[in-house]
Amino acid sequence: MSGFVRFKAVSFGLVILLVAGGAFAAGYAAKDAGIGSRAADAPDFSSLNNVYRVLQDKFDGQLDDAKLLDGAKAGLAAATGDPYTAYLNAEATKTLNDDLNGTISGIGAEVGLKSTRLVIVAPIADSPAAKAGLRPKDQIVLINGQDPTGLALDEAVGKIRGPEGSQVKLTIVRDGGAPFEVTITRAVITVASVKWEMKPHRIGYIQLTRFGPDTSAKMAEAARQLSGQGARRIVLDMRNNPGGYLDAAVNVAGEWLDGGVVVEQRRGERTISKLTATKGGQLVSVPTIVLINGGSASASEIVAGALQDHGAARVLGEKSYGKGSVQEVADLSGGANLKVTVAHWFTPKGKNINKEGIKPDVEVKLEAADYDAGRDPQLDRALELLK
């Protein structure tokens, strides 16, 4: 989801880069937050002033007006009951922008809510979270001994983030087993969004870890270089990719498409927009397998769904996360933002990404024993199918 007056296909709310944060293919269109006229049946918010006056008169302690205002704004957003609608103060907004630019300070993992449970969506490769052994679908039941149940996602993530060199203790439940503790030292992490290399049998391998501001250019470069090296087939690895800018997702999908719809945005039953690829992708008609898993979310689901629906690639691995709601980002005063769920993403053939996720054409699981032994049966199967 793309920027301000752009759409940020970022895994917001669902997911948050545990930096000092979060983002993904939700969809963010930044707009100025204007004040409209109050509808006749709108609630009377003057009672908020009454609460403030009582606090001023009665509270035995020091009041911080800025914190009170932030708390009121956050409370209004949280009261919607939607985990992806949230108020971001100036600090949280800066964190988001840092995340999307690929520089984060924290444990290096995407976190989301699944049925009110705080879960790991995807650890970033070589991050403190990955080195500590965290895996997609791990449930975080305690943060430094405190139960995060009932916290807004941004609030829970805020308790996990922290400065470089500090530590956080997480209590994890994996696959319904007994809880265990992991102590992680936070670090500053710089994440490259696109990496590529040639595999045997002229198979080009592209690993796409996020959809940042440089992703479109990097993907075009990867396609150019691999084509120049004689790649006749491609593996696009979007496992554990939590998302990012929507325009990057459209551009990435466009490398395999000669025009056509990439994703459709709907509000209720009404189609709001259809985003299309430009003609002339560099990898059109190149046999391709897309790798996904439960940590593939948002923008990565848009790309996988578009290539699958158009028959431009086969999808292999495990069902994706299922993050297909669209958040509009309104710019507020003082550098703050309000992100509001305004619609949902659908694939070109009408699959509801938010409810269904993306199901692989070829299901291959990566079991715990594979993970522990450093085996990758998903990549191995993809390479075998493309030989």
**Does residue 2 have an active-site annotation?**
no
The one catalytic residue among 11, 309, 320, 351: 309
Answer yes or no: are the C-beta atoms of 242 and 104 closer than 8 Å.
Answer: no
The one catalytic residue among 2, 127, 298, 300: 298
The one catalytic residue among 323, 325, 339, 351: 323
Task: Compute the CA torsion angle 93, 97, 100, 106 (nearest 10 deg).
Answer: -70
**Does residue 214 have an active-site annotation?**
no
- Sign for the CA dihedral angle at 37, 40, 42, 45 comes to positive
Catalytic residues: 298, 309, 323
